[in-house]
């Protein structure tokens, strides 16, 4: 199961996320749940870098299936929109693949 934690600040704004583990929906290279989570998270990070001036921190370990991404404690409006779009996609995934993705929210 892939565990995704969304980091929220005291204003309930998303300021980052952590995703780790493999979904185990299918064998490596065929796992559509892992692929979808990767697309949502990586595309969001790339979009924030390309379309905003947001400072960010990221760390990852492909072998472990781990990625952590953080932006400032007061994200720009555009950053918030992009992160909320990612969250929407992840929430939709949970509806269809609840045995393979665990999504939770944590105040930081």
pLDDT tens per residue across span 32-58: 999 999 999 999 999 999 999 999 999
Give me the domains of the chain, ranges plus CATH numbers: 2-107 (3.30.70.1490)
pLDDT band at 28 (very low <50, low <70, confident <90, very high): confident
**What sections of 18-76 are H helices per DSSP?**
32-51
* Rounded Cα gap, residues 6 and 17, in angstroms: 4
Is the pTM here over 0.75, yes or no? yes
* Rounded Cα gap, residues 40 and 52, in angstroms: 17
Is residue 29's pLDDT more than 90?
no
What is the pLDDT at residue 63? 82
Of residues 72 and 14, the one with the higher pLDDT is: 14
């Amino acid at each position: 199961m892939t565990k995704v934690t969304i980091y929220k600040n005291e204003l309930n704004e998303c300021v980052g996320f952590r995703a780790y583990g493999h979904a185990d929906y299918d064998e490596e290279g065929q796992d559509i749940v892992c692929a979808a989570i990767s697309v949502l998270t990586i595309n969001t990070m790339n979009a924030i870098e390309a379309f905003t001036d947001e400072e960010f921190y990221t760390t990852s370990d492909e072998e472990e299936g781990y990625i952590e991404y953080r932006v400032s404690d007061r994200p720009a409006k555009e950053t918030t929109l992009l992160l909320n779009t990612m969250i929407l996609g992840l929430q939709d995934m949970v509806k269809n693949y609840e045995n393979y993705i665990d999504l939770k929210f944590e105040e930081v």
